[in-house]
Amino acid sequence: MSRTLLVIGTRKGCFLAESDADRRDWSLSGPFCEGWPVYHAIVDEAGTIFAAAASEWHGSAVWRSRDRGETWTHSSEGLQYPEGGKKLSKVSTLSAHDGRLRVGVEMPGIFESRDDGDTWSLLTNLEGQPGSEVWDDPANQPPGHLGISGIETTDDPDRFFAIVQGIGAYETTDGGTSWTPRNRGLRADWPREHEEVGFCVHKLVRSRADGDRLYQQNHVGMHRSDDAGHSWTEITEGLPTEFGFAAAAHPHDRDTFFVIPLDPGHGRTMPDGQAAVWRTQDAGSSWQAMRDGLPQSDAFLGVLRQGMAGDTHDVPGYYFGTSTGQVFGSNDDGNSWTEIAGYLPAISSVAVAILD
């Protein structure tokens, strides 16, 4: 019988939650990774768990478990810029596809491993791209200091998107050798030096049902692309705020998508202390608040950009983790929610996989 595995990255290590296909009862384990701050944890097609973590004492590394958390190793071999060059201060985001494990870092760059995380080499720092002349300047680093804040894979391992925090999204079709900014049609409420970049892309999600359909939560607005990121249309109308980080796409329906709007000021928690996940089933023409099972008073919950995930069951489940350590899950396509964990450290990421 298949198992559903949640991989939860927190400020104090990685945790796992495991259930069966019904996804009603969950067993929690952890903390793993010796309590290192985990910025993003994922599970690949083979069921191997990877966690990008950065210890204040011992630096950055990618942790790995091949046995669902029973044993862990870590490596940072090759995970550094050449001597005298840029400084690698944090590993912030991971992707795994077709034997290629990639980690995005700050200062912005992507390292790749072809041996399951044993060794790493610099794949790209997007040198020469518009915006790159300023993003290594510490004075220009946005809060969070994530550098590369997202890597979104496609069906082709050589084609993927990279998000540079506070700058925008870029696409490569040749494995990271060349890049093209993919921000046309996005909104920015601030002056920009370049036509193609200067946008604050928080989260980019690609539909499994239609590879040309992308959604993104931006600092200013929700946006949709129907042409693989070549152009974007804003779909914010109907949402309580234009701001948020986390998002997830339905695995079987290209028009269904979930987002968690947050107050855009300093608070960055769910509006009015009422927890809700917002769903569209018509590609953003209308939105519905999904609140059943979520706290509706005094619930000032934040969710970060890697803090939401969806599984691939026939009736899909969705999961999100909060900055106050709760994990909520839905096993009915987002209609109702239950608390899976209530007292974890601040959560930075949630990933899910169905394992045999």
Partner 1 sequence: MADVHLPTTLTPLFAGLPRRVDVDAPTVNDVIDELDAQWPGLRDRLCEPGPTIRRHIHVYVDRTRAGLDTPIDERSRVDVISAISGG
For binding to partner 1 (CB under 8 A), which residues are involved?
34, 55-59, 61, 74-77, 80-81, 83, 87
Choose between 82 and 143: whose C-beta lies nearer to partner 1: 82
Which among 98, 38, 75, 8 is positioned nearest to 353, based on CA atoms?
A: 8
- Closest approach of partner 1 to the CB of residue 325, in Å: 15
Task: List, as one string, the DSSP characters of 271-287.
Answer: GGG---EEEESSTTSS-
Choose between 145 and 252: whose C-beta lies nearer to partner 1: 145
- Closest approach of partner 1 to the CB of residue 161, in Å: 29
* CA pseudo-torsion sign 136, 140, 145, 147: negative
- Closest approach of partner 1 to the CB of residue 70, in Å: 14
Choose between 190 and 343: whose C-beta lies nearer to partner 1: 343
- Closest approach of partner 1 to the CB of residue 56, in Å: 4
Which tokens belong to 313? Answer: 């069951």
Phi, psi of 2 (to 5 degrees): -70, 150
113 contacts 94 by C-beta, under 8 angstroms: no
Which tokens belong to 274? Answer: 């009422």
Which tokens belong to 48? Answer: 């191997």
Choose between 75 and 288: whose C-beta lies nearer to partner 1: 75
197 contacts 168 by C-beta, under 8 angstroms: yes
- Closest approach of partner 1 to the CB of residue 96, in Å: 21
- Closest approach of partner 1 to the CB of residue 37, in Å: 9
Choose between 74 and 208: whose C-beta lies nearer to partner 1: 74
Angle (CA) 5 35 162, round 5°: 65
50 contacts 96 by C-beta, under 8 angstroms: yes
- Closest approach of partner 1 to the CB of residue 266, in Å: 20
CA dist 61 and 55 (Å) reads 8
Choose between 36 and 170: whose C-beta lies nearer to partner 1: 36
Choose between 55 and 173: whose C-beta lies nearer to partner 1: 55
CA dist 297 and 289 (Å) reads 15
Question: In Å, what is the CA distance from 21 to each residue of 122, 194, 258, 299, 356?
Answer: 39, 48, 21, 29, 10
- Closest approach of partner 1 to the CB of residue 80, in Å: 6
Choose between 80 and 312: whose C-beta lies nearer to partner 1: 80
